Each structure stands twice: as structure tokens, then as C-alpha cells.
């Protein structure tokens, strides 16, 4: 099954998955099975892309869903669609694995489960969730900046990885990415 | 690293982006994570960047995981002595609630799904065991005039925990919010109970003085309000659903 986050946004599927997450938070195994059936291919695809290794991707997939089982109550429908929340969790766990750390420190808490007194402006989230907008903004960047940002986010490459891959000094790579991020932020938040 | 001068606002935001992207490694990463752990604004910046960049994950093609993955997950989330939930002796009111929930099935598939998840929430919460027989769970099916149930409120007097779930299609229009009100059985001014989300079940703990009014015969109602709720403390917009609290 193909789960396109943008196609699902605001749809019945989002509600179903959000309801499943709420049931999972209450200890409902059937809801957990449904959630897994409908999202695991997407999450496994993400793990596989970052890790490039089936055995490791499967382990991280398992860790992700076990974490979902324990922390589903942290999901806040006001902040992210269920698939986005799950996808980011899988990606962060895969990156933790890649960086050689088996016990990540509060990756989800830091990334998505931010303190209740700092809600993101809803309009900001809505805009940020808009994949087309992100694609348009990435297209406005210098090619080398956009490519580096994409490789970092999708393939899990670190600064040294990217510098080695492009055969440029580390400070050069940092400035490509930072320049790109500043322009990206200007475009996304305008 | 530790001798680095303090970061200016721009550097901090870029560091938040780098952490969100996973670009950092080793000490740099540990430092940024420690900052996220203690600095609320920095944590919010990491979340904002994550939300900005997450749509990129749309591009990743799904791949079916090996069938063994689910079995492994299933066994890792299997009940253990410490997390047995549904097999605990179910208080009789929960059983009744479930039966009642079956009756609701006629309303709509979406409402039934919510009802089922509410039953599970009730079963799942550990709660003080002896209380339920003394203080039965109360349920209010909130609906528009003669319409199907649109929101379900479930209240457990023993824990003073209120759970409100909305049926599908109950999202407020842009720029508005749905606010929950309690109208005491004896009548009088509605008490504001907070904004309810249309998506996730809303869980709230009713504070003590007000909890006395959440009892059989009291009414819950939902009104349309500005995003931050009624500015006056009484409903200012139309009431779109209401329902009396009854024993489950």
C-alpha cells in the first residue's frame, strides 16, 4: 500500500490512524495491528533508505513500533498527521542507529513532543506540512545546497559524510547547507 | 567545544535545523541534544524544523517489511505481569458501558469506532479497583437536535477523569474552536470546560469544586468559539451539540 502523506492529509485515513493511535495509547492491540498494517511499509522504506541494510532496518522498524506502543499518548493530532509523526520517529531512530547509538536520548521528545506551553502556530504547521511548498522552496535553492539537504534528511548523511561524498572541505559543506537552510526558512515562513 | 562563545539567535536556529536533520555527530550532537533537553525555545525550534522538513519523507517509497517483523513486535508488546490491562477483572460498569456502546452502533460507523476506543480506554486505565461499583461511569452523547451523536463524553467520578471524543466530520471551521460547557443538573450558568479537539480523544481531569456538578442529569454542550475559546466565560457562538449525562 502506498501512503502518500499529502494525499492523506485531512482525509478519513488521517482520522482513522489518529483514532488507532488513541486506542493504542489505551493498550488496544488490534488498533496496533491496524496501525502497523497501514503504515509499516512506509516506515520500513524510510529505515531501509537511511540504513541501507535490511536486517538493521527491520530492527529499527521493530524498535519504532515498540516505542509507538509505549508512547502513543504523546501523539498530538494538532501538531502532525499520524503518518508524519510515525515517519519522523522511524527516521530519527534510523539516524540514531546510523550514528552508532542504541539508546537514543529522548529523540521523539526533543523532535516532536515539545513542551505543551510552546504550541506551534497552527498555520505554521499547516504550511510546513505542505509537501508541495517544501518542494518548491527546495527548488529555489542552489542545486548543491538542495542536494546536500536532501541527502542529509533522506539518506541520513552527516556533515563529514557529505563533505567526503562531494570531495569538499567540511567547512565548505557546512556553508552550503547553512546557506540553503537560511533560504529555505525564508521561503517556508514567508 | 566547551570553549565556544555563546551562539547568537541565527546560529542557534541553524543548530536546531542541523539537529533536526541528523547532520551532527559525536560531541556536536551530544551538545545540541543537551541544549534541547534544557532549553525550551531551542526544543521548539528543533520541532519547527522537523515539521518543515518532514514532508520530504513523502518521497520515500514504501517497502513491505519482512513478515517476521510484526510477530517480533507483537511478542515485544505482549502482556506481562506489569502491564496486564484488558484481562484485569473488568468492573461491571465497564461491561455495561460496552453493552451500551453496542447499542450506539446505529448512529454511525465513526461514532462506534470512538465508542469502542472509549471502552478500551476505560478498561485500560488502572484506576482504583473498588471505586467503580460505588460511582458508576457517566456518559453523555452530545448531538444536535435529533441528529446522530457527534461527540461522546465519558466521566469516571472515581478518578474525576473526563474523556471527550468527536465523531468524524466534527472539525471546527477554520478560525474557530469547539468549546465544551457543563450545565449543572440544577441549571444555572454553563461552566467552560475547555477546547475539544476533533481528532484525538480529549482527556481532562475535572478539578474538585467543579467535579461535584459533573453528575447524572447535568448537561454537556459544545459551542463554536474563537480559537482560544470564549472570551467572556459564557458561550458566545451557536451550540452545535448537547447531551445529558446518564449512567453508562
Residue pLDDT, tens place only, A11-53 = 788 889 999 999 999 999 999 999 999 999 999 999 999 999 9
Chain A CB contacts of B110 below 8 Å: 15
- Higher per-residue pLDDT: A56 or B206: A56
CA distance B16 to chain A (A): 10
> What is the full DSSP assignment across B81-135?
TTT--TTSPPPHHHHHHHHHHHHGGGT-HHHHHHHHHHHHHHHH----TTGGGTS
CA distance B218 to chain A (A): 27
Rounded distance between C-alpha atoms, residue B165 and residue B145, angstroms: 19
Chain B CB contacts of A31 below 8 Å: 117, 120
Confidence (pLDDT) at B103: 40
Sign of CA dihedral A27, A30, A33, A35: negative
CA distance B185 to chain A (A): 31
Indicate yes or no: CB of B65 within 8 angstroms of CB of A44.
Answer: yes
Which three cell numbers mark A59? 530492527
Rounded distance between C-alpha atoms, residue B196 and residue B229, angstroms: 10
Confidence (pLDDT) at A25: 92
| Predicted-complex ipTM score | 0.83
In order along its 248 residues, chain B shows pLDDT tens digits of 455 677 899 999 999 999 999 999 888 888 999 999 899 999 999 989 998 899 999 899 999 999 999 999 999 998 764 444 444 444 444 444 444 444 443 334 444 444 444 444 444 444 444 433 456 778 787 777 756 667 778 888 887 878 887 776 777 877 788 888 888 888 778 888 888 887 767 777 787 777 888 888 888 888 888 777 887 777 887 788 888 888 87
Confidence (pLDDT) at A101: 60
Which of B 38-57 lie inside 8 A of A, CB atoms? 40-41, 43-44, 46-48, 50-57
Confidence (pLDDT) at B134: 56
Chain A CB contacts of B70 below 8 Å: 33, 36, 40
Q: Is B195 helix (H, G, I), strand (E, B) or coil?
A: strand
Model pTM score: 0.58
Rounded distance between C-alpha atoms, residue A96 and residue A156, angstroms: 10
Sheet of B239-247, strand order: B191-196, B177-183, B219-225, B239-247, B138-143, B149-156, B161-166, B202-205
Which three cell numbers mark A66? 515498540
Indicate yes or no: CB of A154 within 8 angstroms of CB of B57.
Answer: yes
Indicate yes or no: CB of A66 within 8 angstroms of CB of B76.
Answer: yes
Confidence (pLDDT) at A15: 87
Indicate yes or no: CB of B43 within 8 angstroms of CB of A36.
Answer: no
Q: Is A11 helix (H, G, I), strand (E, B) or coil?
A: coil
Residue pLDDT, tens place only, A65-96 = 999 999 998 888 877 889 999 999 999 999 99
Rounded distance between C-alpha atoms, residue A69 and residue A86, angstroms: 11
Interface size, chain A vs chain B, as Cβ–Cβ contacts under 8 Å: 221
CA distance A52 to chain B (A): 12
Q: Where on the phi/psi map is residue B164: left (φ > 0), alpha (ψ -120 to 50), or beta?
A: beta
Q: Which of A65, A98, A182 to mutate to test the interface with B (most CBs of B within 10 A)?
A: A65
Confidence (pLDDT) at B149: 64
Rounded distance between C-alpha atoms, residue B111 and residue B146, angstroms: 15
Angle at B229 between CA B141 and CA B184, to 5 degrees: 45
Rounded distance between C-alpha atoms, residue A88 and residue A46, angstroms: 9
Cβ atoms B22, A46 nearer than 8 A: no
Q: In which residue are the cell numbers 441528529 written?
A: B147
CATH classification of A130-188 is 2.120.10.30, yes or no?
Answer: no
Rounded distance between C-alpha atoms, residue B184 and residue B191, angstroms: 8
| Parts of chain A belonging to CATH 1.10.1740.10 | 5-119
Output the CA torsion B142→B146→B149→B153 (10° steps).
20
Q: Is B149 helix (H, G, I), strand (E, B) or coil?
A: strand
Q: List, in order, residues 6 or more apart from A48 with CB less than 8 Å away.
A: A54, A57, B63
Indicate yes or no: CB of B43 within 8 angstroms of CB of A160.
Answer: no
Instruction: Report the helix count and the strand count for chain B, using DSSP H and E.
Output: 7, 8
Q: What is the CATH number of domain A5-119?
A: 1.10.1740.10
For residue B195, count other CB atoms closer than 10 A to its CB: 16
Report the residue count for chain B. 248
Confidence (pLDDT) at B148: 65
Residue B13 Cα distances to A77, A132, B41, B42, B112, angstroms: 25, 23, 10, 7, 45
Q: What is the largest CA-CA distance in chain A?
A: 51
Which of B 81-140 lie inside 8 A of A, CB atoms? 83, 85-86, 110, 113-114, 116-117, 120-121, 123-125
Residue pLDDT, tens place only, A112-138 = 443 333 333 343 444 445 678 899 999
Q: Which CATH number fits domain B92-247: 1.25.40, 2.60.40, 2.40.128, 3.30.70?
A: 2.60.40
Q: Answer whether B61 touches A (CB < 8 Å).
A: yes
Could you tell me which chain B residue has the CA closest to the CA of A49? B60
| Parts of chain A belonging to CATH 1.10.10.10 | 130-188
Residue ranges per domain, chain B?
9-59, 92-247
Amino acid at each position: 500500500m502506498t501512503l502518500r502523506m499529502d494525499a492523506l492529509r485531512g482525509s478519513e485515513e488521517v482520522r482513522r490512524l489518529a483514532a488507532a493511535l488513541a486506542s493504542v495509547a489505551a493498550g488496544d492491540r488490534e488498533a496496533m495491528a491496524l496501525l502497523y498494517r497501514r503504515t509499516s511499509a512506509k516506515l520500513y522504506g524510510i529505515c531501509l533508505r537511511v540504513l541501507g541494510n535490511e536486517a538493521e532496518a527491520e530492527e529499527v522498524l521493530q524498535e519504532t513500533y515498540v516505542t509507538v506502543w509505549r508512547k502513543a499518548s504523546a501523539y498530538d493530532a494538532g501538531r502532525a498527521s499520524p503518518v508524519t509523526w510515525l515517519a519522523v520517529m522511524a527516521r530519527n531512530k534510523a539516524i540514531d542507529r546510523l550514528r552508532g547509538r542504541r539508546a537514543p536520548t529522548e529523540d521523539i521528545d526533543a523532535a516532536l513532543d515539545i513542551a505543551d506551553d510552546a504550541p506551534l502556530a497552527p498555520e505554521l504547521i499547516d504550511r510546513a506540512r505542505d509537501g508541495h511548498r517544501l518542494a518548491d522552496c527546495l527548488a529555489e535553492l542552489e542545486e548543491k545546497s538542495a542536494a546536500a539537504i536532501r541527502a542529509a534528511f533522506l539518506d541520513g548523511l552527516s556533515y563529514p559524510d557529505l563533505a567526503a561524498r562531494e570531495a569538499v572541505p567540511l567547512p565548505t559543506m557546512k556553508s552550503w547547507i547553512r546557506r540553503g537552510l537560511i533560504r529555505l526558512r525564508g521561503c517556508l515562513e514567508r | 567545544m566547551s570553549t565556544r562563545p555563546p551562539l547568537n539567535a541565527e546560529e542557534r536556529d541553524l543548530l536546531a535545523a542541523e539537529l533536526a536533520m541528523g547532520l551532527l555527530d559525536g560531541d556536536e550532537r551530544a551538545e545540541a541534544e543537551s541544549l534541547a533537553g534544557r532549553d525550551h525555545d531551542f526544543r521548539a525550534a528543533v520541532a519547527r524544523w522537523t515539521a518543515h522538513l518532514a514532508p520530504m519523507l513523502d518521497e520515500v517509497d514504501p517497502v513491505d517489511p519482512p513478515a517476521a517483523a510484526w510477530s517480533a513486535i507483537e511478542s515485544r508488546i505482549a502482556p506481562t505481569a506489569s502491564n496486564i490491562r484488558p484481562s484485569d477483572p473488568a468492573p461491571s460498569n465497564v461491561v455495561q458501558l460496552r453493552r451500551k456502546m453496542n447499542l450506539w452502533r446505529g448512529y454511525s460507523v465513526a461514532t462506534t469506532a470512538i465508542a469502542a476506543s472509549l471502552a478500551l480506554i476505560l478498561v485500560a486505565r488502572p484506576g482504583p479497583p473498588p471505586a467503580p461499583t460505588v460511582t458508576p461511569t457517566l456518559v453523555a452523547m452530545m448531538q444536535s437536535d435529533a441528529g446522530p451523536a457527534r461527540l461522546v463524553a465519558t466521566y469516571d467520578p472515581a478518578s474525576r477523569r473526563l474523556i471527550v471524543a468527536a465523531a468524524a466530520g466534527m472539525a471546527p471551521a477554520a478560525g474557530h474552536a469547539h468549546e465544551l460547557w457543563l450545565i449543572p443538573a440544577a441549571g444555572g450558568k454553563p461552566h467552560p470546560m475547555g477546547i475539544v479537539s476533533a481528532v484525538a480523544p480529549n482527556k481532562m481531569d475535572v478539578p474538585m469544586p467543579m467535579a461535584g456538578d459533573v453528575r447524572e442529569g447535568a448537561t454537556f454542550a459544545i459551542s463554536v468559539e474563537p480559537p482560544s475559546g470564549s472570551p467572556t466565560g459564557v458561550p458566545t457562538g451557536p451550540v452545535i451539540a448537547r447531551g445529558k449525562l446518564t449512567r453508562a
